[in-house]
Structure 1
């Protein structure tokens, strides 16, 4: 399993899922942070870590230098889900150990105790078991609440206390047997309900003031007793609503509980604003991929728990599988942007991703970025002579024929060529033009541009191909990779990017021939380099002069495409 980094305690956590010798059942193990281990050593913790689709899985663990227990299944998917839930609960405990204690109102504590009632219901409502089991469970809880017994077993969610109860109360009238013990003799609230109370407080990230502990234990005990009554009725076949379930104030009313801000939720909020301001769907998809990888690495989706240490650990983990350039240009922009937006909009106090610094890799270039004349000619010949494969989508074959040629004579991005629609090839100012428009798909700049069609493309039959195509996209959706593979089969040099080298080539050709750089930038969709160049417009007429002057490739290539 991967290295897991700190919660807000800023200490490093390490956990694992392994198997004992001779066993197929995985074991959970987590090392307790050194700075808090002495305070937690010997503490017992209740874990309810089953998923909605899993059968109840409840464990009570004792904290030492580490926490270890069997995950109880050899089903990898279920084991991983239980591991994630256990890790989340224990990390919350570790956070709380250093948090400041707070006091709560009586109403807030009643609301919190309702989590106990709901937990019993979530675990047992569909399969409550035998009525007698709940009868004995309730008897022990009532006796503890009323101070009639000492050292009762913990109410640990599972009703398996028949032996203990019969030893204390016998097998006769249980109510009379409990009442036979004098009330108010013992303080057994901690023994009976302490684990349940801690489960609620850990779950809701509340470090309760010790002065409020006894009151809260009693409220948790009452909620446990109410849950036992309802589950006994369920076990007897009565599933009518329990009026007592309505006595608990909504958990959302507890001011001390901070709303959980998820990382994926922040992404959605960022996108709602970014989309309205013109950001592309491609950008969202890229950012979502980065956020999903971060959440998977963290093992949780809680934005408030992400620390700088977490982000540095994420960087280290990613650099084991991707290059520094991929991390810097792929993952980090999305994560930093989303978390930065959250800070700007008062969703987070700080951006932990700012801690990540990735030095740019030193680029070693051993050839030009653009296609050579020989490579361009080879691709041109391959496009001109391409024959549609059997069962190949005609629009995929068309993409292989035309997209590289369009990129060759416009310097556009291959993706821009591939999203052209029939209506995007039209006349403007006396010239045939490509309308590279965000309405057709993603444009990096978010701005349309009109680019004249080179005469050689017209001679090769481009306009006839467009006229003969149906309305809508000229090329098949998802053909980008197929075009890349097609070109790579012709130019096998891995040092040149098959779908981007045309942009570099056009810049080189333009410099060699002394073309106006501002006009070339407008053709390729590059921003003006100076404020002076940004004055005025670059017309279709000006661009046509440059396009028409671009030298033809492979003049003697056989035949037409059409």
Structure 2
């Protein structure tokens, strides 16, 4: 006989909802949040092994009144976990955004406050929609940054409306909802500002939002005899598969983010995520729509199409060829071309390089902006590589210092041949880099595996160069520009091709290359590095 849960009296004299997660969803439930109602208010509870929340009363009679609604919310959460993430339609996402808008308009109806408050809200909303956090930043075409700022600005509201309806949605649906919600919140701010100025006409936008209708159960795919896979399902499976094994090479976070953006944008265009109904015509229409909007560069659009092709190919592999047996439908879509930009335009000019390196000496900079430009300038490394350095990766051989760029410890490099040991240039050492490493290690109580830099180093340095130093030349790549410049400096200084290729990670790993096989080769590599002159002494 099943025992029904009841309010639990705790030591503080307060009654609680205290319900164990069912065995079939226990693993999924851990770490999730559930929104629990108490009359006109709600609370958000984090689940470990149980769902626990105060009923906010010490009276048993009142606790029994509040308990059924609280328990119903928890059981709806279990059901949501059993269903798994759902895909919201355009209409459903718009309806949820409308609910948040309506709540913000209603709560300020009697006392809307000062107009200036809502003007400030609108300004902050507009910044987030452009991928910015303040007016001093330079607007750039960076969908990942925009996604971050929208999440930071509106993510809590998304969680609240999803929690209220006990919904778990796909990543693509979340990005779709964020977009609609940002627009809805602009409207709410405008309505409340108008009310603060004495106009209660509501702007005429209230009726445009549909009522929310619960998603129907997934229809069966008659071709495969099972639920149709979505692009998000395919990507999630890929991430899971790549993480398996003792020496696994997990999918990089940056790669995952790019693929999720493609899922959101393509599925917003076609209206759903199901993978087995993708056609060449749909992809071509999506391409033409992006070209006609004129917001993305041709190179970016081309990369979007390539990333979609990659996702479909993952799906074909996971289906053992049963999905699109005649071939990947994206293959037949011609990708747009773009006028070539000379490599020199992507590269730091010597004057710019000097300005950046000198500016790193400014006090109160982050560790990333202080040291990553120097390490990249004197190695040609991709900035993601030194960003992953640990204290143990800085080592000495024959009186010369080196940094180890490696995939060990769950780190990632662009290719398997990017593993290398790079001499640290005397200019970097003269700046006090070894003291910085020693301080980091001491701060971690001697832990050799302590990270030298935050994972966000790449974006920190890029934003600092663009927004603080005002080096805004459109073609310049603020992080990758060091790689091109170092290669030019190495050529000019007469560095051996094999040494240059090894230092920059362009090695093929073949037996005829002279560096990197053992420590015996490192002193000779250090001699080659010493050929590179100081950037601070170089002339334009």
Q: TM-score normalized by structure 1? A: 0.50
Asked whether the equivalents of residues 452 and 544 of structure 1 are also in contact (C-alpha less than 8 Å), the reply is yes
Asked whether the equivalents of residues 305 and 335 of structure 2 are also in contact (C-alpha less than 8 Å), the reply is no
Q: Look up the match of 1:542.
A: 524
Superposed, which structure 2 residues align to 1:40-189 within 5 Å? 79=211, 82=213
Per-residue CA deviations over 1:340-380 (Å, capped at 9, x if unaligned) read 23324224124222232213312143954322222222112
Distance 1:53 1:406, change over 3 A: closer
Matched, 1:336 2:312: no
Structure 1 regions of 5+ residues with no counterpart? Answer: 1-14, 18-50, 55-72, 90-118, 120-201, 207-254, 389-395, 557-562
- Measured in 2, the distance between the counterparts of 1:52 and 1:481 equals 31
Asked whether the equivalents of residues 288 and 334 of structure 1 are also in contact (C-alpha less than 8 Å), the reply is no
- Measured in 1, the distance between the counterparts of 2:423 and 2:514 equals 21
- Measured in 1, the distance between the counterparts of 2:437 and 2:461 equals 19
Superposed, which structure 2 residues align to 1:404-483 within 5 Å? 404-428=373-397, 430-438=399-407, 439=409, 441-446=411-416, 447-469=418-440, 470-471=443-444, 472-483=450-461
Larger CA deviation: 396-405 vs 268-277: 268-277
User: How far is the alpha carbon of 1:410 from its aligned partner?
Assistant: 0.9
User: Given the alignment, which residue of 551, 555, 558 partners 2:533?
Assistant: 551
Asked whether the equivalents of residues 436 and 449 of structure 1 are also in contact (C-alpha less than 8 Å), the reply is yes
- Measured in 1, the distance between the counterparts of 2:482 and 2:266 equals 34
User: How far is the alpha carbon of 1:493 from its aligned partner?
Assistant: 2.4
Distance 1:541 1:468, change over 3 A: same
Distance 1:537 1:418, change over 3 A: closer
User: How far is the alpha carbon of 1:528 from its aligned partner?
Assistant: 3.0
- Measured in 1, the distance between the counterparts of 2:300 and 2:456 equals 23
Q: Secondary structure at the match of 1:426?
A: strand
Asked whether the equivalents of residues 380 and 486 of structure 2 are also in contact (C-alpha less than 8 Å), the reply is yes
User: How far is the alpha carbon of 1:506 from its aligned partner?
Assistant: 0.8
Asked whether the equivalents of residues 520 and 543 of structure 1 are also in contact (C-alpha less than 8 Å), the reply is no
Per-residue CA deviations over 1:285-320 (Å, capped at 9, x if unaligned) read 322332233223222121122111221122223333
Distance 1:53 1:428, change over 3 A: same
- Measured in 1, the distance between the counterparts of 2:322 and 2:239 equals 15
Distance 1:441 1:293, change over 3 A: farther
Larger CA deviation: 485-494 vs 309-318: 485-494
Q: TM-score normalized by structure 2? A: 0.52
Q: Secondary structure at the match of 1:410?
A: coil
Asked whether the equivalents of residues 347 and 481 of structure 2 are also in contact (C-alpha less than 8 Å), the reply is yes
- Measured in 1, the distance between the counterparts of 2:438 and 2:373 equals 19
Distance 1:304 1:411, change over 3 A: same
User: How far is the alpha carbon of 1:451 from its aligned partner?
Assistant: 0.7
- Measured in 2, the distance between the counterparts of 1:409 and 1:526 equals 16
User: Given the alignment, which residue of 352, 365, 383 partners 2:360?
Assistant: 383
Matched, 1:265 2:233: yes
Distance 1:382 1:534, change over 3 A: same
User: How far is the alpha carbon of 1:434 from its aligned partner?
Assistant: 1.0
User: Given the alignment, which residue of 324, 332, 335 partners 2:298?
Assistant: 324
Distance 1:468 1:514, change over 3 A: same
Asked whether the equivalents of residues 419 and 440 of structure 1 are also in contact (C-alpha less than 8 Å), the reply is no
Matched, 1:297 2:269: yes
Per-residue CA deviations over 1:412-467 (Å, capped at 9, x if unaligned) read 12222222222221224543111122236432124432111111211221101110
- Measured in 1, the distance between the counterparts of 2:497 and 2:508 equals 9
Q: Look up the match of 1:363.
A: 340
Q: Look up the match of 1:518.
A: 498
Larger radius of gyration: 1
Asked whether the equivalents of residues 367 and 495 of structure 1 are also in contact (C-alpha less than 8 Å), the reply is no
Q: Spell out structure 1 runs of 4+ moving beyond 6 A.
A: 51-54
- Measured in 2, the distance between the counterparts of 1:377 and 1:536 equals 30
Distance 1:359 1:424, change over 3 A: same
- Measured in 2, the distance between the counterparts of 1:425 and 1:317 equals 50
User: How far is the alpha carbon of 1:555 from its aligned partner?
Assistant: 5.0
Q: Secondary structure at the match of 1:443?
A: coil
Structure 2 regions of 5+ residues with no counterpart? Answer: 1-89, 93-161, 166-204, 445-449
- Measured in 2, the distance between the counterparts of 1:314 and 1:555 equals 51
Cα RMSD (Å): 3.7
Distance 1:463 1:298, change over 3 A: same
Asked whether the equivalents of residues 518 and 528 of structure 1 are also in contact (C-alpha less than 8 Å), the reply is no
Distance 1:535 1:398, change over 3 A: closer
- Measured in 1, the distance between the counterparts of 2:91 and 2:237 equals 34
- Measured in 1, the distance between the counterparts of 2:163 and 2:404 equals 52
Asked whether the equivalents of residues 291 and 334 of structure 1 are also in contact (C-alpha less than 8 Å), the reply is no
